[in-house]
Structure 1
Amino acid sequence: MQNQSIDLSNCDNEPIHIPGQIQSHGFLIAIDQNLNITHHSENIHDFLKGLPDDLLGRSIREIESVIGQNEPPDFINQIITFGKINGFDQTNPFHTDIQGESFYLVISQSATSYLLEFEPTLSDLKTDVQKMIGRSISEMLADKDINNLLVNTASQIKTVIGYDRVMIYRFAADGHGEVVSEAKNDELEPWLGLHYPASDIPKQARELYKLNLTRLIADVYTTPSKIVSTRQYSQQPLDLTHSQLRAVSPIHIEYLKNMGVHSSFSISLMYKGELWGLVACHNYSPRFIDYKARESSKLIGQILSSALEFRQDEANKHLQERFTANVDALSKLMLKYNSIEEALTEQNITIIDAVDARGAVLTYEGHTAKLGTTPDDDQIKQLLSWIKINVTETFYCTNELPDVYPEAAAFKHVASGVMVLTLSHELSEYIIWFKPEHIETITWAGNPEKAAEVSADGTMKISPRKSFEAWSQQVSSKSQPWLDEEIKSAMRLKAEVSYAINQKAGAIRMLNERLKQAYEELDTFSFTISHDLKNPLSTIKGYAQMLTRDSSMQPRALETLNRISNRVDKMNSMINEVLDYSRIGRQDIVPVEVDLSTIINEHIRDLKIGYNADNLKVHIGKMPVVQGDPVMLSQVFANLLSNAIKYSMEQPQPAIHIEGREEETEVIYSIKDNGVGIDIKQLPRIFELFKRMDNVQHIEGSGVGLAIVKRIVEKHNGKIWVDSSLGKGSTFFVALKK
């Protein structure tokens, strides 16, 4: 596998998790569930003298006395049994003696096999990392400023592990990295501020850094040891995803050699489950760090990750609080003034304050209002025409507008970035924010574009850069990126504007005759669904059930008939949901005081049984009463609670939190879960009919429930919105009258 030719088209798919070999400073044995040896590294005989030549297929018990002369019988099986129950992080590393030499045994799983990796305990470190770690962490965290925190961290890690160069390397959204902090030997040239293209650490490598929080390359000039296997396992390469000794990609080895680096060590830095960056350590001579020292270094990385997350969240919180206060102010202004445009554009707080923009445009009821620095009238008119054709979603943003709309190059100095909220696509009503061009000079470590060379056979192959001299590139026609907090604020403003428009619309925005005609057409549509669709479905199910009574039917045929019946039931359910959706608009509401506490508690009890969710943790806070239709509001919370439970069940400890808080004129209920979450780019679509998010396609659902919920809430003159992060859960907010 390691000799595969890697070209430009498959570099990002290089199978680095199955290299077929390991680094040669240790050796590896893989065993199956019956403790039989399925794989081992070729260099095993260099470490274990007196082994039989034909190890493959033998039980590990046959060579335990050679591996651990002073260990009790069956000790490897005992370690594995304990590790399966308590986790191998509780057993690793196991200290043993191999023919007079001290070794660590590290065990991990690879599919149905167990990897037994042996590496020396002798380290090149002159310091005791575990003893120094407490003081080092105190020094790291001494400053609250993020930049100073990174500077302190690089300095302290260099002091602890003694590498020639220690860098904090941060990944950008496009995968390329920048050295944001550095501690080095005096004789080395500085690399602080240099950028490295995404191809230096491709996507699959970044994924492995999320799983393995430390990575040691002891000596780039040693020859890796191949892994041999039995014939039974030879067709399926051994997965070394969790291996400590996993060999290094030939491309990366060549890359390090071109840099003059003999040894490297990295510590992953995480932010909310994603790879924020690396502590990248380089040495210009071979360097080996034992397992315990690497684990101590990993702790430093985890503490730094927590500190970065805390400080970044603190900064995000201040930004979010500012945006929230401004959107709340705009919401009150829209209810105060008769004119939506006047409320959003002519007061002390305007739409420009909802995000960090330099300019904004509101097009509403045939009029265009400009705020701050914007393109001129003709340019805005042309941009609106482009938006009308090309922006089909309710939300759109980019920080590279000239790339997708070339005419924007003429006004890139004021609008290289644009964010669009669609209020009404049919009426061409939008809120548009602008960010100006942000010109920056990026200094790359070598020309990032020179990534390939022609080999002797004429094919193009990846050629890691041989020169790392600074290479500058000016980036233009881009703005600063739109932050998640800005996107959330814009979506919240859209909900508030929609609410205000619905409150003020009345007869001005709705023609009674057209509404009457639409209702008549809806009645016809409902009759068609209930009669012309449901009757044939009943017939199909009847025939299917009748055929299942035929004793001559083969099992496969019976299974197919049962599947037909199940699909008919699902279609019937979807038809009923669509009918419910269509009826909501025609139902009159006679509001009464509704005690949601009883409704919510009953739904929780029923849903826990329905989803077999015994391990679900439910916290219910205050439950203020509201005004509305009890049946409709019960349907709202049934849907929201069902979703919260359904999309949290894949978590080890599913949990939901429900509570209501009273404002001046309304009660705001929140339903929070720790489930799969929603991609921020898909948030604008979640209340649309038949819209389901990409990450829940494997979970049963019709895409109608949230559309029904939104329609009922709006029928009550209420508001609904959501705050969510992918993989972190969702919080739905429902605002209803007291």
Structure 2
Amino acid sequence: MENKAAINVTVPKNYDSEFCGSIPLHLVNLIQPHGVLLVLDSETLSIRQASENVEQYLGIGLEELLEHELAAFVPQKNVEEIKLKIKANSNHDKIPLSLTFQVNGENVAFTALVHPKEEYVLVELEEAEKAVDEVPFIGLYQHIKYLTSLFKQAESSEATAQLAANELKKLTGFDRVLVYQFDPQWNGIVIAQAKEAGMDDYMGLRFPASDVPKQSRDLYFRNPYRLIPTRDYAPVRLIPIVNPLTQRFTDLSDCNLRSVATVHLEYLKNLGIQASMSLPLIINNQLWGLISCHNIAAKNPSYEMRSALELLSGILSAQLASQENEQAILLRVQLRSIHARLLEQLYSNQNFADGVLSGSTNIQDLLSLSGAAVLYEGGIWTSGETPHHQEMKELVSWIRRNKGTSLFATANLGKDYSRSVAYKDVASGVVALPINAEQGEYILGFRSEVLQTISWGGDPNNAIQMEADGKTYHPRNSFATYQETVKHTSLPWKEEELEAAEVLRSAVLEKIIRENY
């Protein structure tokens, strides 16, 4: 049987790079040049560290700026606003201030983000009028309201994601917008796409976890978006290099201007794009996926546009969460109905094995199984397609030794227990409900092999190419579709199905205890 790969298919290999995931991206001491970074003493608000490009934006040299109080350069009301931010310790609200600097005798407005830390305060500055979008604020507000109502009408998470991709492309003018969902192993699959004609088609492709390594994934909980207006920028250093307040590199985890790893800029080049912006989709405090925006030419959306996208990513996350929860509730209701009928049958049969395996409703209906077996008091009862009796005894012995006494389930039995490959056609997936594990007494549920084709965006085995020094590495330079057939796997087990299995196990144990005692 062959099936297109589901989002939660068990990919045979782990593509999450420990090497990439261990690089300290937040301690780079570099920013992108489309703004300025100031590091202030949290007590005095004196400027202790600044990006080298301050003169370009503020008309003030580094030596004139460093060790002076911010109050010497901005109005007192701005200083008071920053003090309030620090007092509230509101570094997670990401709400900007408007700061006015006197630049060459003229007042210049900057959009400022303030990030209070224990020993210092980061202030990110971008010129307020630098990037002007076609859409005025009222237009953005109307578009957000319109999109919110559209999302609510969508019938599935896939339809919602596609709507989002289409509408965000229209709103922002990015050349390509992808909605990208993570599988359980942190590979990402493109579930929605809107793009200009002629651009590469990534719909349905899976990208290895090393493309967004752990360190990058973690930073999405600190930053509402990641913007690279142009990949060809020259990074700007912080001076002095070591933060004089901590004697360490300044932590730029919360900083939107933070410079990007060179390997990521090379990755954008290989994708054929100049600018990118990505926003997290967070559901139940987990990174569910990303909205990824690509542009062939350099592009720097205004702060208003970025804020609108940030808001929309939150609205989209909430809508996707709602749809997933609704699907889970419907499945639970369906499983409870089957369980109720199965329970009635269980108690009307003298032998619990007959009650579970036979009749108009059985365990195969409850857990979508191709076969099931009960091993109890030396006997074996089966229904549907199962391995041979001796194979099941050996399997149970292995489960007891290696998986403990709690419920065990896998959709890729052959990966852990190589002997099972001999009967993969009937048991590539197994769920084991221990009745008395020490005695090898179990209820077993089997799922047959489902060949699943994964289409990767480039060969995932070549996702990272190391140089001879063992330190320098490059991303793959081809994103041509690479197909992999996943063997020895069954359809995955849903959380709700495993909950239903545990409830059934409890009912069986209760029946056994009642009859024996």
- TM-score w.r.t. the length of structure 1 is 0.63
- The runs of 5 or more residues in structure 1 that have no matched partner are 1-7, 65-70, 507-738
The 1:336–1:9 alpha-carbon spacing in structure 2 relative to 1, beyond 3 Å, is closer
Q: Which aligned pairs between 1:199-598 and structure 2 lie closer than 5 A? A: 199-229=210-240, 232-233=244-245, 235-453=247-465, 455=467, 458-459=469-470, 461-506=472-517
Distance in 1 of aligned mates of 2:287 and 2:386: 36
Q: Which aligned pairs between 1:77-92 and structure 2 lie closer than 5 A? A: 77-82=80-85, 84-85=87-88, 87=90, 92=95
Aligned to 1:115: 122
SS where residue 221 of structure 2 aligns? Answer: helix
Distance in 1 of aligned mates of 2:473 and 2:516: 61
Distance in 1 of aligned mates of 2:413 and 2:62: 67
The 1:92–1:373 alpha-carbon spacing in structure 2 relative to 1, beyond 3 Å, is same
Q: Structure 1 counterpart of 2:119, which letter?
A: T
The 1:264–1:231 alpha-carbon spacing in structure 2 relative to 1, beyond 3 Å, is closer
Q: Give how far 1:187 is off.
A: 2.3
2:48 counterpart of 1:38: yes
Aligned partner of 1:193 among 173, 190, 204 = 204
SS where residue 463 of structure 1 aligns? Answer: strand
Structure 1 residues 545-593: Cα deviation after superposition (integer angstroms, max 9, x where no partner): xxxxxxxxxxxxxxxxxxxxxxxxxxxxxxxxxxxxxxxxxxxxxxxxx
Q: Structure 2 counterpart of 1:213, which letter?
A: P
Structure 1 residues 355-408: Cα deviation after superposition (integer angstroms, max 9, x where no partner): 232221111222111122222334323323322433323221111111111111
Q: Give how far 1:173 is off.
A: 0.5
Aligned to 1:130: 141
SS where residue 479 of structure 1 aligns? Answer: coil
- The runs of 5 or more residues in structure 2 that have no matched partner are 1-16
Once the two structures are overlaid, the 10-residue window that deviates more, 154-163 or 416-425, is 416-425
SS where residue 73 of structure 2 aligns? Answer: helix
Q: Which aligned pairs between 1:643-654 and structure 2 lie closer than 5 A? A: none
Once the two structures are overlaid, the 10-residue window that deviates more, 441-450 or 165-174, is 441-450
Aligned to 1:671: none
The 1:186–1:209 alpha-carbon spacing in structure 2 relative to 1, beyond 3 Å, is same
SS where residue 34 of structure 2 aligns? Answer: coil
Once the two structures are overlaid, the 10-residue window that deviates more, 152-161 or 261-270, is 261-270
2:115 counterpart of 1:104: no
Distance in 2 of aligned mates of 1:500 and 1:137: 50
- TM-score w.r.t. the length of structure 2 is 0.89
Aligned to 2:98: 95
The 1:396–1:234 alpha-carbon spacing in structure 2 relative to 1, beyond 3 Å, is same
CA RMSD of aligned residues (A): 2.2
**Contact 2:188 / 2:206 at 8 angstroms: preserved in 1?**
yes
**Contact 1:12 / 1:203 at 8 angstroms: preserved in 2?**
yes
The 1:219–1:152 alpha-carbon spacing in structure 2 relative to 1, beyond 3 Å, is same
**Contact 2:357 / 2:372 at 8 angstroms: preserved in 1?**
no
Q: Give how far 1:458 is off.
A: 4.0
Q: Structure 1 counterpart of 2:500, which letter?
A: S
Moved segments of 4+, more than 6 Å: none
**Contact 1:83 / 1:90 at 8 angstroms: preserved in 2?**
no
Question: Considering only CA atoms, is the larger Rg found in Structure 1 or Structure 2?
Answer: 1
**Contact 1:452 / 1:461 at 8 angstroms: preserved in 2?**
no
Q: Structure 2 counterpart of 1:474, which letter?
A: T
Aligned to 1:61: 71
Q: Give how far 1:54 is off.
A: 5.3
Q: Which has the higher contact order (CA 8 A, sep 6+)?
A: 2
Q: Give how far 1:93 is off.
A: 1.6
The 1:369–1:15 alpha-carbon spacing in structure 2 relative to 1, beyond 3 Å, is same
- Number of residue pairs aligned between Structure 1 and Structure 2: 491
**Contact 1:110 / 1:242 at 8 angstroms: preserved in 2?**
no
**Contact 2:90 / 2:116 at 8 angstroms: preserved in 1?**
no
- Aligned-residue identity in percent: 29
**Contact 2:40 / 2:49 at 8 angstroms: preserved in 1?**
yes
SS where residue 449 of structure 1 aligns? Answer: helix
**Contact 2:277 / 2:293 at 8 angstroms: preserved in 1?**
yes
Q: Give how far 1:118 is off.
A: 0.4
2:79 counterpart of 1:76: yes
The 1:88–1:200 alpha-carbon spacing in structure 2 relative to 1, beyond 3 Å, is closer
SS where residue 61 of structure 1 aligns? Answer: helix
Q: Structure 2 counterpart of 1:176, which letter?
A: N
SS where residue 166 of structure 1 aligns? Answer: strand
Q: Give how far 1:89 is off.
A: 6.8
SS where residue 252 of structure 1 aligns? Answer: helix
Q: Which aligned pairs between 1:14-53 and structure 2 lie closer than 5 A? A: 14-34=23-43, 35-51=45-61, 53=63
Once the two structures are overlaid, the 10-residue window that deviates more, 188-197 or 388-397, is 388-397
Aligned to 2:14: none
Distance in 2 of aligned mates of 1:330 and 1:41: 68
Distance in 1 of aligned mates of 2:94 and 2:186: 35
Structure 1 residues 216-260: Cα deviation after superposition (integer angstroms, max 9, x where no partner): 111110111111236634642211111121111121111111212
Q: Structure 2 counterpart of 1:125, which letter?
A: D
**Contact 1:125 / 1:162 at 8 angstroms: preserved in 2?**
no
Aligned to 1:700: none
Q: Structure 1 counterpart of 2:96, which letter?
A: P
Distance in 2 of aligned mates of 1:453 and 1:145: 38
